[in-house]
């Protein structure tokens, strides 16, 4: 009986050891696969950026849709493609892109600011104010955000705030110039 128990323990140790080895191999394989996927994504993003630089925005946008549509790279390259395109349709899509990216990535200051600018241009002042103050919360020294808040205050007829915002924008813009 004792030999049987010892044999059973040895078999159990072997099985557990094999399971651990298989788990480690599986994790290593997953890591390799993930690294390969990341390298392939990076290559695809570089190809898309090259297409945009060459003015082939439709082809770039088509390839971009095959990528991870919730990644920061996706939104940054899509913004670049729409800006390069410059058509009225691209401008409309850019406005929607900013809002979508700002909602998906609430800590991305640039997208918050640009969603605010898009709302400002559309006359949606409440949304513009919210987005611009969100952008300001993320970077209080961004001169452009202060400038857009000044524009918003102007459109709303709030000239006191307008002056404050424009002066602050100028202050930060000048301090940025001095740093360079």
Residue 84's nearest CA partner among 109, 62, 51 is 51
The whole-number pLDDT of residue 123 equals: 96
| CATH, domain range 98-180 | 1.25.40.10
Looking at residue 5, what DSSP letter applies? H
pLDDT reported for residue 153: 98
On the CB side of 59, CA atoms within 13 Å amount to: 11
- Show the tokens assigned to 33: 């696969």
Dmax (CA) of the chain: 94
Give one DSSP letter per residue of 23-36, joined into a string.
HHHHHHHHHHHHHH
The residue written with tokens 């513009």 in the block is 128
> DSSP assignment, residue 100?
H
CA distances for 153 relative to 9, 114, 175, angstroms = 78, 17, 23
Tens of pLDDT along the chain (180 residues) come to: 545 444 445 554 455 455 555 556 555 556 667 777 667 768 788 888 888 889 988 998 888 888 888 888 989 999 999 999 989 999 899 999 999 999 999 999 999 999 999 999 999 999 999 999 999 999 999 999 999 999 999 999 999 999 999 999 999 987 765 554
Token pair for residue 81?
């493609």
- Domain boundaries of the chain, sorted by first residue: 1-85, 98-180
Structure tokens at 78: 């899509």
Two structure tokens written together for 177:
């110039």
């Amino acid at each position: 009986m004792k030999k049987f128990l010892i044999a059973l323990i040895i078999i159990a140790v072997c099985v557990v050891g094999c399971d651990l080895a298989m788990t480690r191999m599986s994790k290593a394989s997953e890591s390799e696969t993930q690294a390969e996927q990341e390298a392939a994504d990076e290559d695809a993003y570089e190809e898309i950026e090259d297409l945009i630089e060459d003015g082939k925005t439709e082809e770039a946008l088509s390839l971009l849709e095959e990528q991870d549509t919730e990644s920061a790279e996706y939104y940054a390259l899509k913004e670049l493609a729409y800006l390069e395109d410059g058509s009225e349709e691209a401008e409309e899509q850019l406005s929607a892109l900013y809002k979508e990216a700002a909602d998906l990535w609430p800590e991305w200051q640039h997208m918050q600011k640009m969603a605010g600018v898009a709302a400002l241009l559309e006359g949606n002042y409440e949304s513009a104010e919210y987005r611009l103050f969100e952008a300001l919360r993320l970077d209080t020294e961004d001169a452009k955000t202060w400038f857009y808040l000044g524009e918003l205050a102007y459109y709303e007829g709030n000239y006191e705030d307008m002056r404050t915002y424009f002066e602050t924008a100028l202050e930060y813009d000048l301090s940025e110039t001095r740093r360079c």
